[in-house]
Amino acid sequence: MTTIRLSVPQTADRGEIIELRAMIQHEMESGFRFGSRGEMIPQDIITKFECFYNGTLFFSSDFHPGVAANPILKFYARANESGSFEFVWTDQDGQSWSDSAQIEVS
Amino acid sequence: MRLLAACFLFVGAACSPETTQLEPDFTIEASQRVSGSNFLTPETVAQQNDDFENPGYLWVERGADLFEQGEPSCAGCHENGLEGVATHYPAFDTGTQTLINLEGRINLCRTRHQGLTSLPYESDELLSLTAFVAEQSRGLPISVEVTPQTQSAFESGANYFMTRRGQLNLACTQCHDDNWGKQLRGDTISQGHGNGFPAYRFEWEDFGSLHRRLHDCDTGVRAAPMELGSQTYIDLEFYLAVRASGLELESPGIRR
C-alpha cells in the first residue's frame, strides 16, 4: 500500500514561479541495518524521481540509501501553459509509482 | 457534573478516603503542563503543523479511504464525522465493562456493527483509522475524567507510572515528573504526555501508536515490555490522558 501526496496549485498566472511538493510512503530501507536476530535487512529504496510537465521531463532526482523514509521533495517550476504535472518514482527493482495533478494557467 | 460528584461522594463513603481520588493530584501542576512539542526544534514543530509536510497525513489519508469501506462503512453511521471524539479516550465501554482506547473502540465497531474481524494492534489499517479519527480532534483539549467505573483502571495506570522497573530500576515518574526539561544525553526529557499519538517518530521513521512508544520506554529502562494493546498499557494510557487533560490533541504529531 503506497500513498502519494501532491501539492500543486490549481491555478497560476502565466510565467509565475510555482512551488510543487511531492511525498511518497516508502520505507527507504538503507541496507545497512540489522534485524533483532543479527540478520542483515536487505536494501529496498527508491532510486529515481522524475517530474514531467505536459510530458516533458523538467526535474529529476537520484535517491541514495541515506534518504529518509517517506521522502518529500519541494521544487519549483515556471507555469507557462495549462496541463498536467506527472510525478514518477522508480525503485531499485524497476517498480514504479506515479500520480498527476492538473494546473490551469491564465 | 453534579450527578458525577454525587457518585464520587457515594464511593468515598463506601471505601476509605485515602483510596478515593476525586481530583487526582499530579506532580506537575496544571499550569506547568506542556505538550511534548515544546521540547522539539522549531523546524519539527513547523513540519508537524504543516498538513502537507507532516508524514502522519499519509496514514490519515489512508484512514479516510478505509472509513468509507465496508458494509456498512464507518461513514455510513458516522456521516457527520467524529470531531472531538478522540479527546475522550480511553473510555469505559458499558457492553464489555472494560476500559478501552480509541483502537479498541474501532475494533469493537468492526465486530459489533460491521460484521468484520478485529484489526491486529499496530497494523497499518488500525493505525490509519485511528489517525483519521484522532485528526478530527486536532487542536481540541484532551478531556478524560476518572469515574467510579474507571477508578481502578486509573489506579492501576498510576501504579505502573510510579513503579520502578527494569535493570535501570527507573519509574516513569522519575524522568517525566521529577526531571522534565533537563538533558538526558543528547535529548531533553519531556513531561511524557501522549497527546501527539498516534504519531510519526523520526527514530522509527514510521507512524506508531502510544503503546509502541510505551513499549520503547520499557525497553529503554531494560524492563520486559507489555504486549501492545494489553490492558496494562490501556490503563497507563488512561492515567496519562487524565494527567494530560487540557492539553491540545496534536495527532498526527511528530516526535523524535
Say how far apart CA B192 and CA B247 lie, in whole Å.
12
CA separation for the pair B212, B45 (Å, rounded): 21
Mean pLDDT in residue range B36-40: 93
Residues 6+ apart with CB under 8 A from A38: none
Quick: pLDDT tens for B52-102: 999 999 999 999 999 999 889 999 999 998 999 999 999 999 999 999 999
Asked if pLDDT for residue A90 goes beyond 80, the answer is yes
Phi, psi of A7 (to 5 degrees): -130, 105
- Cβ atoms < 10 Å from Cβ of B154: 22
**Total tally of structural domains belonging to chain B:** 1
**Of B52, B57, B62, which is closest to A1 when you measure between CB atoms?**
B62
The mean predicted confidence, pLDDT, of chain B is: 89
ipTM over 0.90: no
**Residue holding cell 497525513?**
B57
Q: What pLDDT is recorded for position B19?
A: 44
Inter-residue contact B112 to B72 (CB < 8 Å): no
The answer to whether B67 faces chain A, any CB pair under 8 Å, is no
A-chain residues within 8 Å CB-CB of B58? Answer: 3, 5, 23, 25, 70
Q: Taking 60 as the threshold, does the pLDDT of residue B204 lie above it?
A: yes
pLDDT at B31: 87
Give DSSP secondary structure letters for B129-186: HHHHHHHTTTTSBP-----TTTHHHHHHHHHHHHS-BTTTTB-HHHHHTTSTTSEETT
Residues in chain A closer than 8 A to B52 (CB atoms): 5, 7, 21, 23
Structural domain that includes position B48: 30-255
Eight-class DSSP state of B38: G
Contact B205 A68 (CB under 8 A): yes
Residue B7 lies in a domain: no
- Read off the pLDDT of residues B139-182 as tens digits, 9 standing for 90 and up: 999 999 999 999 999 999 999 999 999 999 999 999 999 999 99
Count residue pairs from A and B with Cβ separation < 8 A.
29
Across the interface, whether the CB atoms of A5 and B62 are under 8 A apart is answered no
Task: List, edge to edge, every strand of the sheet that includes A16-24.
Answer: A4-7, A16-24, A72-79
B206 touches chain A (CB under 8 A): yes
Find the CB nearest A25 among B52, B53, B58: B58
Q: How far apart are CA A106 and CA B11, in angstroms?
A: 70
Q: For residue B21, is pLDDT > 70?
A: no
Q: Which of A3, A5, A68 comes nearest B52 by C-beta?
A: A5
B25 to A55, A62, A67, B155, B211: CA distances (angstroms): 64, 55, 45, 12, 24
Q: Out of A25, A27, A72, whose CB is closest to B53?
A: A72
Residues of B annotated as catalytic (active site), given as ranges? 217
Nearest CB to A70; choose among B58, B61, B124? B58
* Degrees to nearest 5, angle at CA B158 with B129 and B245: 55
Measured distance CA(B115)–CA(B137) in Å, rounded: 27
Q: Quick one: what percent of chain B has pLDDT higher than 90?
A: 82
Pairwise CB contact (< 8 Å): A23 & B58:
yes
pLDDT mean over B248-255:
95
Do the beta carbons of residue B53 and residue A21 sit within 8 Å? yes
CA B52 to chain centroid: 24
Residue of chain B whose alpha carbon sits nearest to that of A24? B58
Determine the pLDDT at residue B223. Answer: 95
Contact assignment for B205 to A7 by CB distance below 8 Å: no
Q: Any idea what the CATH number is for the domain that residue B137 is in?
A: 1.10.760.10
Summarize the confidence of residues A64-78 as an average pLDDT: 94
In this structure, is residue B55 part of a structural domain?
Answer: yes
Domain membership of residue B11 (yes or no) is: no
Q: Is the CB of B248 inside 8 Å of chain A's CB atoms?
A: no
Residue of B nearest to A8 (CA): B52
* Residues of chain B contacting A21 with CB distance shorter than 8 Å: 52-53
- Cβ contact (<8 Å) for A69 and B206? yes
- Contact with chain A for residue B122, Cβ under 8 A: no
| Cβ neighbours around A99 below 10 Å, total | 16
Are the C-beta atoms of residues B23 and B8 closer than 8 Å to each other?
no
Interface membership of B52 toward A (CB under 8 Å): yes
On the CB side of A72, how many CA atoms lie within 13 Å of its CA?
A: 17
> Given CB atoms, is B62 within the 8 Å cutoff of chain A?
yes
Q: Residue B11: is its pLDDT beyond 90?
A: no
Chain B residues touching residue A27 (CB < 8 angstroms): 205-206
In this predicted structure, what is the pLDDT of residue B234?
A: 96
Does B55 contact chain A (CB < 8 Å)? yes
Domains and CATH numbers, chain A: 4-105 (2.60.40.10)
